[in-house]
Amino acid sequence: MRNSRKFRWASQTVAACAVAIAWVILGYGLRSQPDPEAWSEFFEAGGRFAAFIGIYLPFYLLAPVLAVVVVLALVSTRDWLSGLLTTAAIGVALFEGWVAMIGGPLFQAQPHLMASLIWCVVADGVAIVALVGVWLTHTGEPTRAVNGVAVGNSRNLRRASQTVAACAVAIAWVILGYGLRSQPDPEGWGELEAGGRGAAGLFIYLPFYLLAPVLAVVVVLALVSTRDWLSGLLTTTTVGVGLFGCWVALIGGPLVQAQPDLPASLIWCVVADGVAFVALVGVWLTRTDKPTRAVNG
């Protein structure tokens, strides 16, 4: 038990430090020395205001919240903190994807932002890996044997598998969004007539934006609870992400020319979604149904 607690404390400390480092690295990219010419060229008054409202203001507002979560995770190993820290790590990853999606001209104005995003992803990945160790040593109820099965260990494995699956689904969606919102090819978009642009907006971009908050809710629920009905909901979400990726690949032919990064994003989205499916196998194998009881013998 003592070794398990020490490993849990070490894993949670590494995860908290990695989340903090990821946020600091991202902040460095956003606040590093800008390119004056690019700022004047790409960011007229409206562009600067949009960058402030869409990126800088959320960054400053989320920073103290993240700091509180990191400090709590460094001074305590209570079970509810594992869910809170995991949610923070996913939030950092989603904000990275948001910056990558809408910050196209900002990469020209902030030359260090791209490298900062890459290292931020690496640090956040380290946090998620460390969080697997946290969930594997989740204390919860004491381990007990039911029909020869160690229920406590089974629940720890279930929680770890569900965490990995939820993280993989979120990453798959962010990757797909990056491909849809990355720097477009002006010539490719110019070849799309008004009808083609309208169809892309109606059948691809609009469903993506509408489904994003639903997916975010499912991921957060899966990170903070291991109720049996969530396994079905998370599996349905994973299947939905895979089907939406196939939908984009099937009807988005001209869009692939207009968005050069979309094919690679689709491939990596499928890879991340596949990781989620593999992790869901562990979730279903450790499903905690109610014990069978005999009635009238």
Mean pLDDT estimate for the chain = 78
Per-residue pLDDT, 24? 92
Inter-CA distances, 195 with 36, 60, 203, 280, Å:
38, 40, 12, 40
Q: Is 12's pLDDT higher than 80?
A: yes
DSSP reduced 3-state for 259? coil
Q: What is the model's pLDDT at position 264?
A: 82
- Single-letter residue type at 78: R
Residue 95 DSSP SS3: helix
pLDDT given at position 64 = 92
* 164 pLDDT higher than 70: yes
pLDDT exceeds 80 at position 209: yes
pLDDT exceeds 80 at position 290: no
pLDDT, tens digit, for every residue of 31-61? 877 777 766 665 565 666 777 788 888 899 9
Q: With 60 as the cut, is the pLDDT of residue 245 above it?
A: yes
User: Is the pLDDT score of 18 beyond 80?
Assistant: yes
CA 21 – CA 153 distance, rounded (Å): 31
Residue 3 has pLDDT above 70, yes or no: no
The greatest distance separating any two alpha carbons of the chain, rounded to the nearest whole angstrom, comes to 83
* Alpha-carbon dihedral sign for residues 34, 39, 40, 45: negative
Which residue, among 185, 210, 195, 207, has the nearest Cα to 260 in the 3D structure? 185
Q: What is the mean pLDDT of residues 130-151?
A: 58
Q: Which two tokens stand for residue 64?
A: 């103290």
Res. 194 pLDDT band, cuts 50 70 90 = low
Q: Give the per-residue pLDDT at 46.
A: 60
pLDDT band at 73 (very low <50, low <70, confident <90, very high): confident
Instruction: Determine which of 152-156, 164-168, 203-207, 226-230 has the lowest per-residue pLDDT on average.
Output: 152-156
| Residue owning tokens 């404390």 | 9
Is pLDDT at 149 greater than 50 in this prediction?
Answer: no
- Please give the full DSSP string across 155-190, using - where no structure is assigned: HHHHHHHHHHHHHHHHHHHHHHHHHHHS---HHHHH
Q: Give residue for tokens 């910056």.
A: 99
CA distance 85 to 91: 10
Interatomic CA distance for residues 141 and 163, integer angstroms? 18
d(CA 160, CA 67): 24
Q: Which residues pair with 149 in a beta bridge?
A: 146
In a 3-state reduction of DSSP, which class is residue 130?
helix
The pair of three-digit structure tokens given for residue 291, joined into one six-digit string? 């014990």
Confidence of residue 2 (pLDDT cuts 50, 70, 90): low
Half-sphere exposure of 65 (CA within 13 A, CB side): 12
Q: Tens of pLDDT along 87-137? A: 888 888 888 878 877 766 777 778 888 888 888 888 888 888 888 777 777
CA-nearest of 97, 133, 125, 112 to 18 is: 125
